[in-house]
Amino acid sequence: MTTANSLAAAFEHAVRLLENNQPDAARYVFRQILAVVPEHPDVLHLLGVCDLVEGKPEQAAGWIRQSLAGAPSDPVRHNNLAVALIRLGRFEEAVEATGQALALHADYADALNNRGSALAELGRNAEALEAYTRAAALVEDSADVHANKGHIHLRLGQPREALDSYLRALAIDARHAPALDNLSQSSHLATLSYFDPDSPYLAGCPVAPASLDDFRGACRLLNDGHIGRAASGFEALLQRHPDWIEARLLAAIVDYRRGEFALGLAHCDRLAAKDLPPSPQAILDDYRSRLSSALRLQALKGSVHSGPAPAPRQARDEVLHLVCDFPRRAGTELRCLDLAARLRAHVRVEVWATSPGIHESFVGQGIRLIDPAAGEVPDGGTLAVIGAWHPIGEWYGAARFRRVLVVYNVDQPNHLESAIRALALPGKPPVEIVYASDWMREQTGLPGRFEPSPVDLQRFRPQPGGFRPDRFVVGRLSRDLHYKFHVGAPAFFSALAARGVPVRMMGATVLADVLGAIPGIELMAVEAQPAEDFLRSLDCFVYRTHSYFPEPWGRVVTEAMATGLPVVAHAAGGFAQIIEHGRNGFLFHSDAEALSIIDALRASPGLRRSVGEAARASVEALYAGSSFDRYWQFYAD
């Protein structure tokens, strides 16, 4: 290796090795060249690239810095140095390195992307967004750039723009992991932003300030559960601004809530003619589907059981099949297993999963996987599908059941419609519907019976001698999802903390960015401790979900009542039917009402005790011993 030609050939060979992802082999050749030309800037640079490929950023930064001494005007080297520095966590230096690269090549998209990453790590989010935006304009086909831009939009509280960025990334690469990981969150947040009367997005609406004030007022009425008054407010706004997308979307939603399905669908049909951005399109698609299905459900009344009780079972050993799915530990899954436990004393029960992947806490509970190829399918007796969204496979066509039931406990009429159509086949018995609450039954307009989700009264019980008149801790428990919290949740819990009321919330890490640093507020992950222990650490349970997701029943509310806690809950929820305001709990519409109730409970240990005791007695009357007989007998008949 003594001639220029042989050195050039060796260099090209090493480059090809590196391009073929063989950095170790390439490094060997580069070092041979370096033995002949010790300060070869290209070799020094590519030795750094070899180390970057192999995850050795410290060594990479050293080689690249050496190479810059011989080629200080190469933007690529400055950019690769920035990559090494970012991996080392030296973000200020990385920003400086990308600045050098961009000074040499202003439209260097990769340097802009790396600059955005370094700025984001430093919390300089506005500058990061500017860098990502410039990069995205230069390379529209980079999924990484669009996904990074989405991350910054989320940090800046701009979920609609984040959703658009993630969708752009996935249009380029449908399997792009960072975009997929954040798509659901951005979609939820973008959707929820339309219900926020104080949303910064409203500033961009091309209407007069007076109309904006009216819109905010209608939003607050919707969020507080005053559906009829909210509907009037949105209709008045649409008389003045017929093309106002936000107003028409929310008008469709309140029409759905009050059972005016045809009116709501008319709003959706008008919006469907428009070219909408991703976030309003997602809401439109959701509610157009709900409204259409709610109307079509009325045509299915003939397939739904509404007459006298079915004929009694023919044999004492007739089986009851409970079909569900168990990938997570949530209300529907717990409902199914609690029901099975109660019924096994009276009837033979088989619990089936529609798909593999059972949550670890359910392993060993006798759950069978539906597997038609192996002949493992429900057949004979009574079939009860716990959750209307579970798919009904072809196995159902050949099975023979005396009764067929479906438990409808999530407000998705399209799921109920699909379930009825799948179950109401020729030769099959009429479908019997079990509703999670009276509100759910009224919403569909189809016959059926209400059945509360079972609660283990032994597990959820007051701690003996546990009443603490000298303590007052307020809290709540739910899954860790944004729609489990109402629009004003940050301000509400901040107000409690400002009053000196300790707040504990399990399943609330989604609020960490806004509440995590406030003294007196403790945010915990889901299942950070057993639910019954968590509830016993509280003296008052408060519950309100987002108005986009009114709680069909709210199992956690009855668990809190069973634990002997005074419950302060929003009036819009299935649980409201068992709460008698001021006796066994409290119902409110506005946060101001809730704060006033909590103030009264804080001031009166006697009120806390009496309401908590009445709450426990109410839940016992609903679930204990013979009280629950009327529910299990329905399945065992």
What is the per-residue pLDDT across 427-466, written as a single tens digit (0 to 9) for each? 999 999 999 999 999 999 999 999 888 888 999 999 888 8
Please list, in sequence order, all residues whose beta carbon lies within 8 angstroms of the beta carbon of residue 419, skipping any fewer than 6 positions away.
Answer: 385, 388, 389, 390, 392, 406, 408, 431
Lowest mean pLDDT across 218-232, 326-340, 495-509: 326-340
CATH architecture of 474-623: 3-Layer(aba) Sandwich (3.40)
Distance CA 227, CA 545 (A): 16
CATH (residue range 4-191): 1.25.40.10
Q: What is the largest CA-CA distance in the chain?
A: 100
Please list, in sequence order, all residues whose beta carbon lies within 8 angstroms of the beta carbon of residue 602, skipping any fewer than 6 positions away.
Answer: 472, 501, 540
Burial of 500 (0-12, 13-18, 19+ CB in 10 A): exposed
| pTM for the structure as a whole | 0.86
Identical topology for domains 4-191 and 474-623? no
Instruction: Kindly give the residue spans of alpha helices, DSSP state H, lying in 41-124.
Output: 41-53, 57-70, 75-87, 91-104, 109-121
Checking if the pLDDT of 2 tops 80, the result is no
Distance CA 418, CA 422 (A): 6
β strands within 448-577, DSSP E: 449-450, 474-477, 503-506, 521-524, 540-543, 567-570
Distance CA 289, CA 268 (A): 10
Task: Determine the Cα angle at 546 with ends 338 and 261, to 5°.
Answer: 90
Average pLDDT, whole number, for the chain? 93
CATH 2.60.40 at 306-450, yes or no: no
Domains of the chain, by residue range, sit at 4-191, 200-301, 306-450, 474-623
Work out the average pLDDT over 194-215: 94
pLDDT-derived band at 1 (thresholds 50, 70, 90) equals very low
Q: For residue 190, how many C-alpha atoms fall within 13 Å in the half-sphere facing its CB?
A: 26
What does the pLDDT look like over 103-147, one tens digit per residue? 999 999 999 999 999 999 999 999 999 999 999 999 989 999 999
What does the pLDDT look like over 551-592, one tens digit per residue? 999 999 999 999 999 999 999 999 999 999 999 999 999 999
CATH (residue range 200-301): 1.25.40.10
